[in-house]
Amino acid sequence: MRDNWVPISASKYSLFLKELHRKREESKSKEKIKSIKRQSLSKEERSLVLQKTDSRCHICGGEIEGIWEADHVLSHSKGGDHSIENYLPAHKICNNYRWDYLSEEFQEIMKLGIMLRTEIERETNLGNSVAEKFVKNEINRIKRRKKR
Ligand SMILES: [Zn+2]
């Protein structure tokens, strides 16, 4: 974690993100080698997992009403096993955005997201151009989903 280190320039920060990306790809390919077939939870087990957080998503803290996933907190390759202790409930959307990233990367993504959220709310030049691009991406994402 970079608690005590602050990137000194935009290009250093970009390098830092690239390095994290590389580490993620590396750990993913290691995980594939070790991967054990994922077992699915029974209805009873899923209901126990949901009770652990009082029906809240462990990623965003929001209430779970519709579709949710049992998030495998510790992967098999890191010693996680197939017991309900190793699962927490998460919205499908939160889990999809979260699962692929290293925790270090996810912290950066949250910091960036929060900073950009403020820029967009204040309608700064940066905020406006990010919002424009983001809206375009969202429209395309929804169009792609409908085609399937
Ligand atoms: Zn959530």
Cβ contact 64:50 at 8 Å: yes
**Among all chains, which residue has been given the structure tokens 């519709």?**
66
Binned average pLDDT, 10 residues per bin, the chain of 148 residues: 81 94 86 59 93 95 93 70 86 86 91 97 98 95 81
* Distance from Cα 9 to the centre of ligand 1, integer Å: 33
What is the model's pLDDT at position 28? 77
What is the model's pLDDT at position 7? 86
Which residue in 45, 29, 31 sits closest to 74, CA to CA? 31
What is the model's pLDDT at position 78? 62
* Distance from Cα 70 to the centre of ligand 1, integer Å: 12
Q: Please write down the HEC assignment for all residues of the chain.
A: CCCCCCCCCHHHHHHHHHHHHHHHHHHHHHHHHHCCCCCCCCHHHHHHHHHHCCCECCCCCCECCCCEEEEECCCHHHCCCCCHHHEEEEEHHHHHHHCCCCHHHHHHHHHHHHHHHHHHHCCCHHHHHHHHHHHHHHHHHHHHHHHC
Rounded to 5°, angle at Cα 121 from 119 and 122: 65
What is the model's pLDDT at position 5? 81
* Distance from Cα 18 to the centre of ligand 1, integer Å: 27
pTM as predicted? 0.75
Burial class (CB in 10 A: 0-12, 13-18, 19+), 94: buried
What is the model's pLDDT at position 141? 87
* Distance from Cα 135 to the centre of ligand 1, integer Å: 21
What is the model's pLDDT at position 88? 94
* Distance from Cα 42 to the centre of ligand 1, integer Å: 22
* Distance from Cα 68 to the centre of ligand 1, integer Å: 9
* Distance from Cα 144 to the centre of ligand 1, integer Å: 23
Enumerate residues with CB within 5 Å of ligand 1 (an ion). Answer: 57, 59-60, 62, 91, 94
